[in-house]
Structure formats: structure tokens, C-alpha cells
Amino acid sequence: MIPRRSHKILVQGITGKQGTFWTKAMQDYGSTVVGGVNPKKAGSEHLGVPVFATARDAAKSAPFDISVMFIPPMLAKAAAIDACEAGARMLVCLTEHIPAHDVMEMHVAAKANGTRIVGPNTAGLVTPGACFVGIMPAFNDRVFRPGRVGVISRSGSLGTLVCLNLTQAGMGQSVFYGVGGDPMIGTNSADALRILDDDANTDAVVLCGEIGGSAEEDAAAYARTMKKPVVAFIAGRQSPPGKKMGHAGAIVSGGKGDYPSKRAALEDAGVAVADTPSALPTLLAERMAASAA
């Protein structure tokens, strides 16, 4: 599922400073926010929508498709399970530093209730010109423009840079899909590739990966089966092994998940890999021209 204006959005933690700032930004951009959650402010109204004690309560009087969490790490598990049990089709989990054992429990709840978790530690999703869910600068039209290129990224800041480069080259985006920087995410790069492969509004895909884990190797296996052109950039070529580079998932250990392995896997699957993000638009144009020929 790709967020559309028709999707109803619940904001867990709507009344906090960040929840308020970004909910307003989402509303201004065109996202349909139908309610919020804060157990201490249930029954009140915030930013023109009702506030509920739980996501399950919200589901009764303000049914929603997507829930987005502005919830601190130690409370994230309970909030996520609440959203899954309330029937969220998609849960966008922005929170970073959720204990891994809690994340594993969240994924069990998601599976049991048919919820797609995006994240944890994602910056969210943007459907340029329509709506966004999360903490991305969708409203900055130097960065995001409507178009037909799908962008997948583990990192919000790198994803922003890549969309900027595409927009500067005149290539708009069908969707920005932030999968998240954690080691155990609900929707990995391969899953996101499949979603964009199935999306009628997407002609080609840019994959922004980083060192650590096996997300790019797994994505390469799927990219091999795709007809749509895929190009990639992988951050971390210069990062020393054995050091966590900010994202809990971005660590090279025991030779696994390093840059050469990821690049080789992608190139072997027919994915062109750019040396810098600014080289992506040219590579993409070449691939799109070749596949149209």
C-alpha cells in the first residue's frame, strides 16, 4: 500500500511537540488525519481532530487505515501493539532506539493482525503532490515533486538528498518509501521493491542502501526479477568496519554487510550502482532509455 489522500491517518502521540508540528505539516500538505491518541487527553480535540485514549478506541469512532507513532522508545511497544490490535493496515514507526526484544514483540503483533509495519526508525513515506506520513520535508518543492520514480531509503536524510537530486534533474517521484535504519524492520528494501514494482504510478526505482545487514543483497535478488529499471546508491563505502555508524543497522562485522558485497550483489542483478547520489539521475535516465528501446 502506498499512502493516498483517501487513506485515513491516526497519529499516536499527537499532542506532543513533534506530534503537533508534524501533524500540522501533514494536514497542510493534504494528508487525511482523522484522530490522535494520548491517554491523558482522551475526549479533547487537537488540531481539529478528536483525541482518544487508545488506538482501539479510535477505531470505533474514527476508523483509520494508517497509524503513525510519535512515541518515545520505552512506550513504543505498547503503542504499536495497540495500533495493530486496532486493525491498522499500516503502522509507520518513526521511533529510534526501541529495545530489540520489544521490536520482536511488535512484529509478532503485526503478523497476527495483518498490519504492515514500516520502520522502526523510519522517516516515513511521501506521495509527492498528495500526502505524506512521518517526518519528511514533503512540503519543500525543491526536494519533492510529483513524478514517476519511486525512491526507497533506509535513511531519511540520505533519502531527502536523493529526492533533491532527482528533482534538480527534473525527475519527479511517485513515492518516497523510508524503510528505516533499524536492524529488524517490518518492511525491508526487498518488500518495498515489490510494492513499487506492483505500483502502476512507478516507472523506475532508486534504492538507497547503506552498509550493514543484508537488505541490499536481499533486494538484489528481487530486483533481478523486475522489468522496471532499478538504480542504487549505497552509503558507507568509507566507513570503518566494527563501528556502528549512527544507525543501529549500519555496522559491518565479520566481513558481512560490507560495501563491496552489496555493490557486487546489486550489479550482478543488473542494478546500476552510483558512486555519488548526484550521479543517480543520469544513470536512471540511461536505464529508462534502454528499457524503453
107 is catalytic: no
99 versus 270: smaller Cβ distance to other proteins: 99
Q: Which of 115, 110, 164 is nearest to 136 (CA)?
A: 164
What residues pair up with 90 in beta bridges, in sequence order? 66, 116
The CB-of-147 to other proteins minimum distance in angstroms stands at 18
Sheet containing strand 66-69, strands side by side:
45-46, 49-52, 32-37, 8-12, 66-69, 90-93, 116-118
Q: Kindly give, in sequence order, each residue whose CB lies less than 8 Å from that of residue 151, ignoring residues fewer than 6 positions away.
A: 159, 162, 163, 166, 173, 175, 176, 177, 205, 206, 208
157 binds other proteins (CB under 8 A): yes
Please state whether beta strands 124-127 and 173-178 pair in parallel, antiparallel, or not at all (unpaired). Answer: antiparallel
Q: Which is nearer to other proteins, 57 or 209 (CB)?
A: 209
Nearer to other proteins, 3 or 236 (CB): 236
Tell me which stretch binds other proteins (CB under 8 A): 39-47, 181-189, 194-202, 281-289: 181-189
Q: Find the binding residues for other proteins in span 231-290 (CB under 8 A).
A: 233, 235-240, 243-248, 250, 275-278
Kindly state whether residue 141 participates in binding other proteins, applying the rule CB under 8 A. Answer: no
Q: DSSP of 15-45, one letter per residue?
A: TSHHHHHHHHHHHHHT-EEEEEE-GGGTT-E
Task: Count the site residues for other proteins by CB under 8 A.
Answer: 59
Compute and round to an integer the Cα radius of gyration of the chain: 19
Q: How far is the CB of 121 from other proteins (least distance, A)?
A: 9
Residues of this chain that bind other proteins (CB under 8 A): 18, 73-74, 94, 96-101, 103-105, 107-108, 123, 135-137, 140, 142-143, 153-161, 164, 168, 181, 183-184, 208, 210-211, 213-214, 233, 235-240, 243-248, 250, 275-278
User: Annotated active-site positions, please?
Assistant: 247
